[in-house]
Amino acid sequence: MQSNSISHCQECGITQSECWILHNVRVKASFRRLCTNCVLRNNISRFCPVCFDVYDDSTAPPSHQRVMCFRCPSISHLSCISFRFSSTFLCPLCSDPSFTFFDCFGSGGLGLCQSEYAVATLAGRDISGKSAKAVVAAARVAAQSMRRAAADARAVAEMKIKNAAFAKKQATLALERLAYLELEEKDGNEHANSNGDAVAGEMTVEEQKLQDWISSILEPKMRNQTQ
């Protein structure tokens, strides 16, 4: 996750002093810090752009209570649309190129609005109801994003644990197999050695018989020679 020390939006580049708050959010499998406008622009299908009601876990209103923008995946409440619905309905963002969800404050006086002084200063500003709703909506969208990221991380961790347990079991079986093969080889060698000793003993007896036979032939001759 990106450090909270980042003091500008990582998409549009606006500073935290101008946008009041930066939200921690996951965008396309990466963690970023974005301003309210960029959070809502990147999650346009997750809330109503008119009343800023956030849809829980991507559950949009029923089909008979919603209308989708003709140009983008934005979904608005039918009850929030003040004019008759048509097939070419455009959400506020698509109908007005200069539309922003949150009215920036400008760079004067707030610094990094995380201190008590900054919050107190902000409280004295004239914040529109739309901007306040946008901040709350962006915070809820960001929270949903981080909850999904936490759930995904948990699933990955559980899968790694299962894989590690399986690998450990396979390694244990391999070690047991190796120990069995070593024991089998050791028994085979001992059997071969015992057979070799037996053969060596038989050869010694044969050699002794041969030596006795040779002696029985040579001894009479040697006696005759001495006589």
Which one, of 136, 141, 144, lies nearest residue 21 by Cα?
136
CA distance 43 to 41: 5
Please state the rounded mean pLDDT for residues 153-179: 89
pLDDT tens for 65-78 read: 888 888 899 988 88
- Which residue, among 120, 111, 140, 124, has the nearest Cα to 36 in the 3D structure? 140
pLDDT at res. 157: 92
| The predicted structure's pLDDT at residue 95 | 87
pLDDT average, residue stretch 14-39: 84
Question: What share of the chain in percent tops pLDDT 90?
Answer: 8
Q: pLDDT at residue 193 above 90?
A: no
Q: How many other CB atoms are there within 10 angstroms of residue 161's CB atom? A: 10
**CA distance linking residue 85 with residue 50, whole number of Å:** 14
Which has the higher per-residue pLDDT, 197 or 70?
A: 70
Are 19 and 102 spatial neighbours (Cβ–Cβ below 8 Å)?
Answer: yes
Its pTM stands at 0.60
Would you state the pLDDT for residue 116? 43
- pLDDT value for 209: 65
Mean of pLDDT over the chain: 76
The Cβ-side half-sphere exposure at 183, using a 13 Å CA radius, reads: 6
The pLDDT score that the predictor gives to residue 110 is 41
Average pLDDT estimate for 75-86: 75
CA–CA dist 23, 9 (Å, integer): 9
pLDDT of 83: 61
Q: What is the pLDDT of residue 148?
A: 84
Residue 137 has pLDDT above 80, yes or no: yes
In this model, does residue 223 exceed pLDDT 90? no
pLDDT at 163: 92
Q: Above 70 in pLDDT, residue 186? A: yes
Give me the amino acid identity at 143.
A
Confidence bin at 222 (pLDDT 50/70/90): low
Helix (H, G, I), strand (E, B) or coil at 128: coil
Predicted pLDDT of residue 115: 43
The predicted-structure confidence for 88-126, as pLDDT tens digits, reads as follows 788 888 888 888 888 765 544 444 444 444 444 445 555
Nearest to 104 by CA among 33, 24, 8: 8
Report the alpha-carbon distance of residue 92 to residue 52 in Å, rounded: 12
pLDDT of 34 over the 60 cut = yes
Return the top range by mean pLDDT from 17-31, 38-52, 196-210: 38-52
Collect all residues with Cβ–Cβ distance below 8 Å to 127 and sequence separation of at least 6.
103
Q: Specify the residue for token string 């001495």.
A: 226
